[in-house]
Amino acid sequence: YPFHDRPWIETSYHGVITENMDTVLLDPPLVALDKDAPVPYAGEICAFMIHGQEAPFEAVVLNKTSGEGVLRAKGLVDCETQKEYTFLIQAYDCGAGANGVSWKKSHKAVVHIQVDDVNEFSPVFREAIYHAAVTEGKIYDSILQVEAWDQDCSPQYSQICNYDIVTSDTPFAIDRNIRNTERLSYDKQLHYKIMVTAFDCGQKRATESVAVHIDVKPVCKPGWQGWNKRMDYEPGTGSKQLFPKMHLETCDGPLSAVRAMVELQTSHIGKGCDRETYSEKSLQKLCGAASGSTDLLPAPAASTNWTASLLTDSGRDSDLIFRFDGRQASNVPERVVPQNLTDQFTIATWMKHGPSPGLRAEKETLLCNSDKTEMNRHHYSLYVHNCRLVFLLRRDFTQVDTFRPAEFHWKLEQICDKEWHYYVINVEFPAVTLFVDGVTYEPYLVTDDWPIHPSSIDTQLTVGACWQGGEVSTPRFTQYFRGSLSGLTIRPGKIETQKVISCLQACKEGLDINSLESLGKDIKFHFNPAQSVLVMEGEDLESVNTAMGKVSYINSRQFPTAGLRRLHITTTVQCFGEDICISIPDIKAVVIVLPPSEPRITIAGSDRLVKPSADLRGATGVAPFKELRITSTVTKSDGVPFSAGGWGGTVHRPGVLEVMHNLDYCDVLVIGEELNPEHESLEIHHSSLIGKHLDATNSTSGISIYGVDSMAHYEEALRQVRYRNWRPATLTNRRFRLTCSELNGRYTSNEFNLEISVLHNSAPVEHVNHMAVQSQYMRPVHHPLMVHTLNSHISGTPPAATVVIVICIAALVVIVVLGIYRLHSTHLDGSKREEDGAKDPKMDWDDSTLTITVNPMEVVRDEEEDDDDEEEEDDEQAGDMSAESGDSDETEEEEEEDEREVKKEGKQKSKLEWDSSSITY
């Protein structure tokens, strides 16, 4: 068969195979034809041969006779690796035999095979997490775009057909782009987290959803950011920054300068801010004012009772304020009124006043000196009329009868602005100057008038109205004041200096700047005098932010007024050129001053002194408060650090801590009848106040020591107070009451009562000897019935018994002489101790536990003869036997009773010491 024909196949084939399968579907089918006769071998197809670059296919002959074949994959076909294949195929006939010898081959046909895809992969997002930010109030077409992809090879299975939001109830929608479906609000929600998934076009879902974070930004509003509406201030902590993290947002607006004004508003506190609330006299001394001023509105007390009927503003933290509502007024007692007003004097007061109601405003009198009876002449007065302050000064008729200045007017906004102001009128006749909060104002109108003709009519000084004593049927007050006053004083003979006036009205709290040197040269700043307003200017925004972070609040009082202080910040921005400038909203915040730990002032010492009458008659008298001790304690809560004034400590457990602070007055009040200046006095020597910031005034009702000074200095001064009575014969005791104050009564001590008992006649000489010579370690024995038994026996003593008693007395005299001899040196030491008493207050007789025994014979004589003590002492009837026997019995009885008392008091050895300065030998 050398000439047989070659097999024939199609010129090209197209096949399809599904990935991961092995059968290829060919079009047309794989069939090889041979024209040779169908004899064995000749005309049969034996094989198909594939030519190609390692094509992973094989062709298999299914039927040699018909020439049918099949194309299949030799292994798994992966679309993602290769989507299609192209190779050549040839058919071989069997030729002369099946061994391949003389086989003939067909032409090469091209085979194109496409690999069909299977949806085996899920979509995967290209980012692990998505972030975006939006500004509140806007609707976005696209906030951000998410993207997923699929590894499948075909468009059907590899394309992402849709995205979906998994999180429910969110104001967002997605179509690959995420958009908001409603306007977002920064105040409502400032952050959203939504979960998003994806589907391919075969609807296969992503295995894991992706998180999308969307931040809501506020609309950029120019203004201050990073500040708190409330700051707490702990008393005693010095200066505290108010806005440490504050910064100004200008929304990238072009600016050339920033001006910020910080205002501390404290008008609701006391007299307009936290000032020292010491008594007016103490404040004047503290500020170095000349002494001699008269406080016309002192705190109501026994010695200053004319202010008791006035209304006080109790809600002002002991900053003593009197409120006048047009119905209150008070007459100042004659003893208080300054009598020696000369051409130079000062009137000062705090005043808060608003415009008067009604069309025709009446005169409103602060201070008035007018005739008490008969006439109605005003000698001098200070009043408000139609928001003018008027000072009337009518001089008495002297050598010259000429027109003189009589009325001085000032029209000022402050008079009717309902705020506290400090007014000082300095009179250097005929010139009168007004200071308001330390600023001087000259009177704009001076009315001249004739002098007042002299008369014998007494004048009446009043506060809150004018006294109309004449020209009316019933004397009454008129021209009432409506407003508040505090610290109304008159100082005759001297005018006040600007420095003292500034000190008296100075605030103890205000704004401050921490580390002034680090502000930078480009920051300009200015404080008002009270340091309640701070203005800062700068061109660089960063410098202004740094400067605002250093603005602080400070309160230098040891016990500040607790409560809130309002802060108000106004800001203006200048811009370059003609640009529309930025508007910065005002800021309102508060500083809360926390309550200070309140001190408890305690006065302690001997509350009863027994002194021989000779001591009271002595040149120096007696020192009632020689053993006085003043302490002050605060109770601290757990773990709260404490720091106050110049002294500081820290307590980390609940307990009581002793603190040192200043007092501003101590009053010694006489209880009972007032002192009789003809034969008694209570005084403190001026030398006792040298080196201290103290002053003192005294009257028949007591003594007042005042001035802002330490408790130790007050203690020393009070120990030097002396009581003297140069006719003590009728006196049995004198009682005093001592109270001390911090901040004009805001914190007061306990009432310390003390009684001085007086020992009369010469009996105490023997009394002294027995107390001195008795062993103080003897067992105390007391017979309470002995007094009554001896009393009844002595009252009917027969003559024989009298003789026996005289003999006994003679024997006792020997013992007494020996006792006196032994006590001689003791007396000398005792006298020295009395002289040095001020240096060593412990070296004194503590008689708080001493019991004084009444002489029974003295009681009998008082009942029978009704003689007073002075007559008994002057009685020189030496020949009267009954008188002698009475004295003898008295001596014997007193010795026995004293002996028992000494035994009883033996345990008090460490405290008991006899004041022997009055013993005569």
DSSP annotation string for 790-835: HHHHHTT--HHHHHHHHHHHHHHHHHHHHHHHHHHHHHHHHHHHHH
Q: What is the token pair recorded at 892?
A: 């014997």
Euclidean distance between CA atoms 328 and 321, whole angstroms:
14
DSSP bridge pairs for 225 = 247
Q: What is the token pair recorded at 215?
A: 């931040």
Residue matched to tokens 């203004």: 223
* Nearest alpha carbon to residue 236 among 636, 708, 642: 642
Answer yes or no: are the C-beta atoms of 482 and 324 closer than 8 Å: yes
Answer yes or no: are the C-beta atoms of 813 and 765 closer than 8 Å: no
Phi, psi (degrees; rounded to nearest 5) at 88: -110, 150
Residues 56 and 202 reside in one and the same domain: no
Residues 6+ apart with CB under 8 A from 229: 588, 589, 590
* Nearest alpha carbon to residue 559 among 696, 430, 708, 692: 708
DSSP run (H or E) holding 439: strand 439-441
Q: What is the token pair recorded at 65?
A: 């006779």
Host domain of residue 149: 124-217
Q: What is the token pair recorded at 588?
A: 């309102």
- pLDDT (0 to 100) of residue 450: 62
DSSP run (H or E) holding 787: helix 786-794
Domain membership of residue 254 (yes or no) is yes
DSSP run (H or E) holding 895: helix 881-904
Residues 97 and 137 reside in one and the same domain: no
Residue matched to tokens 């009885």: 893
Euclidean distance between CA atoms 409 and 393, whole angstroms:
12
Residues 232 and 299 reside in one and the same domain: no
Q: What is the token pair recorded at 34?
A: 């041979």
Give me the amino acid identity at 519. Answer: L
DSSP bridge pairs for 153 = none
Q: Beta-carbon neighbour count of residue 528 at 10 Å?
A: 12
User: Domain count of the chain?
Assistant: 5
Report the Cα 739 to chain-centroid distance in Å: 27
The CA-based angle 437-440-445, given to 5 degrees, is 120
* Nearest alpha carbon to residue 613 among 772, 735, 736, 727: 727
Residues 480 and 617 reside in one and the same domain: no
Give me the amino acid identity at 845. Answer: W
Give me the amino acid identity at 67. Answer: G
Q: Domain boundary residue among 462, 484, 505?
A: 505
Residues 605 and 713 reside in one and the same domain: yes
Q: Beta-carbon neighbour count of residue 75 at 10 Å?
A: 8
Residues 212 and 227 reside in one and the same domain: no
Domain membership of residue 192 (yes or no) is yes
Domain membership of residue 184 (yes or no) is yes
Answer yes or no: are the C-beta atoms of 129 and 213 closer than 8 Å: yes
Residue matched to tokens 């030729």: 95
For residues 154, 158, 159, 165, the Cα torsion angle rounded to the nearest 10 degrees is 160
- HSE, CB side, 13 Å, CA atoms: give it for residue 824: 6
Q: What is the token pair recorded at 842?
A: 């412990």
Q: What is the token pair recorded at 89?
A: 């195929």
Euclidean distance between CA atoms 165 and 194, whole angstroms:
7
Report the Cα 235 to chain-centroid distance in Å: 5
Q: String of b and e for 412-429 (b: at least 16 CB within 10 Å)?
A: bebbbeeebbbbbbbbee
Which parts of the chain have pLDDT scores under 50?
Answer: 1-3, 397, 399, 638-653, 763-798, 803, 825-921
Answer yes or no: are the C-beta atoms of 606 and 847 closer than 8 Å: yes
Alpha helix locations (H) across 420-579? 498-504, 541-549
Report the Cα 313 to chain-centroid distance in Å: 21
Residues 100 and 189 reside in one and the same domain: no
DSSP bridge pairs for 173 = 179
Give me the amino acid identity at 750. Answer: N
Euclidean distance between CA atoms 212 and 24, whole angstroms:
46
Q: Domain boundary residue among 505, 537, 572?
A: 505
Radius of gyration, alpha carbons of the chain: 56
Euclidean distance between CA atoms 590 and 780, whole angstroms:
69
Domain membership of residue 842 (yes or no) is no
Domain membership of residue 207 (yes or no) is yes
Q: What is the token pair recorded at 115?
A: 């690999």
Distances, alpha carbon 361 to alpha carbons 357, 387, 443, 602, 656, in Å: 7, 9, 21, 50, 56
Euclidean distance between CA atoms 273 and 909, whole angstroms:
56
Q: Is 223 left (phi over 0), alpha (psi -120 to 50) or beta?
A: left
Answer yes or no: are the C-beta atoms of 760 and 822 closer than 8 Å: no
Q: What is the CATH number of the domain that holds 453?
A: 2.60.120.200
How many helices (H) and strands (E) are present in the chain, helices listed first? 12, 58
Alpha helix locations (H) across 234-384? 280-286
Euclidean distance between CA atoms 92 and 106, whole angstroms:
6
* Nearest alpha carbon to residue 463 among 485, 445, 448: 485
Q: Domain boundary residue among 593, 610, 626?
A: 593
Report the Cα 174 to chain-centroid distance in Å: 56
Euclidean distance between CA atoms 488 and 306, whole angstroms:
14
Give yes or no for a cis peptide into 28 (omega within 30° of 0). yes
Euclidean distance between CA atoms 90 and 149, whole angstroms:
42
230-233/587-593 β-pairing: parallel
Residues 361 and 419 reside in one and the same domain: yes
Residues 65 and 148 reside in one and the same domain: no
According to the 3-state scheme, what is the secondary structure of 612-681?
EHHHHHCCCCECCCCCCEEEEEEEECCCCEEEECCEEEECCCCEEEECCCEEEEEEEEEECCCCCCCCEE
Domain membership of residue 616 (yes or no) is yes
Residues 176 and 196 reside in one and the same domain: yes
Residues 452 and 555 reside in one and the same domain: no
Residues 6+ apart with CB under 8 A from 281: 293, 295, 665, 695, 706, 707
Q: What is the CATH number of the domain that holds 52?
A: 2.60.40.60
* Nearest alpha carbon to residue 461 among 336, 553, 308, 545: 336
Distances, alpha carbon 770 to alpha carbons 202, 385, 695, 830, 904, in Å: 126, 77, 44, 16, 13
Phi, psi (degrees; rounded to nearest 5) at 605: 155, -175
Q: What is the token pair recorded at 732?
A: 């049995």
Answer yes or no: are the C-beta atoms of 253 and 222 closer than 8 Å: yes
Q: What is the CATH number of the domain that holds 227?
A: 2.60.40.10
DSSP bridge pairs for 264 = 567
Answer yes or no: are the C-beta atoms of 724 and 616 closer than 8 Å: yes
Domain membership of residue 288 (yes or no) is yes
Residues 128 and 252 reside in one and the same domain: no
Domain membership of residue 605 (yes or no) is yes
In the chain, what is the straight-line distance between the N-terminal and C-terminal CA atoms, in Å? 184
